[in-house]
Amino acid sequence: MSLADKLRPHLPYLRRYARVVSGSQSSGDSFVNATLEAIVADPETITAGDNLRVQLYKAFCKIWESANLEVERDEGDTVQNHLRKIPPISRQILLLTSLEGFSTDEVAEIVDVGVNSINGLLEDAILEIENELRSDVLIIEDEALISMELEQIVTGLGHKVCGTATTHKGALAAVAKSKPNLVLADIQLADGSSGIDAVKDILAQFTVPVIFITAFPERLLTGERPEPTFLITKPFQPNAIRAAISQALFFTPAQQDA
């Protein structure tokens, strides 16, 4: 099996990570493409027999860090101003542990930071982001136990659940009563309707960050159309939801009518 074939299964998840850590789909995809070009130019970047996923993310992080992005301050409550408040290394550690599921040792290798420093940087990042915004959240999920678990996670972070829905129609009714600052959405809903369609109709009314939570990520991570920046695969870890909520609110501009 060629190196390209070995790396291909990891690319959708690297794209997801890149989009969140950079703040946009286009920027994230550019960094992933640069990473792949660097690997092609120097195949020895990836060592046979070792953890290919760790090596791939490590190669990406070197490209990301070499960009040395500086964020200028804007007027008002903007993504740029949020970014100024948390160091890039802490953002990476938060995502690598909570969203991507790497162990502490693996994260230390990826970002080239001592293992003993990882936990402190992670806690700093979480506290900074969670204190930044408190928001109203809409949950679109037809499985009652999962919906309850999501509600506990949301309220545990200090946010408010402004509505829950199990169908496309129910989601639009909930939005009509209260505009959320964040939407958590499953794809397959109770009456056979689509969470994707519900989200499209919501976004037609106003701009709001969306986190898709699904057992079928391949339906969204196709690489052929606009894809969600925030995607969690079922079964999920609570910390993955926590990190995604914090990142979605952190990186997304204030709500605007479409």
Over residues 61-79, the pLDDT tens digits come to: 999 888 765 444 445 444 4
**pLDDT value of position 72:** 43
- The per-residue DSSP string of 138-173 comes to EEE-S-HHHHHHHHHHHHHTT-EEEEEESSHHHHHH
Q: Report the distance separating Cα 97 and Cα 118, nearest Å.
A: 10
Burial of 18 (0-12, 13-18, 19+ CB in 10 A): buried
Under-70 pLDDT residues of the chain: 1, 48-49, 68-85, 129-133, 219, 221-229, 250-258
**pLDDT value of position 222:** 61
Q: Which of 8, 56, 59 is nearest to 221 (CA)?
A: 8
State whether residue 10 is helix, strand or coil: helix
Q: Per DSSP, what are the bridge partners of residue 188?
A: 194
How are strands ordered across the β-sheet holding 230-233?
Answer: 160-165, 136-140, 182-185, 210-214, 230-233
Residue 7 near residue 55, CB atoms below 8 Å: no
Read off the amino acid at residue 145. L
Q: Which of 144, 231, 226 is nearest to 184 (CA)?
A: 231
State whether residue 123 is helix, strand or coil: helix
**pLDDT value of position 221:** 67
Residue whose pair of structure tokens reads 């196709």 in the numeric block: 222
CA dihedral sign, ordered 176, 233, 248, 35 = negative
**pLDDT value of position 169:** 96
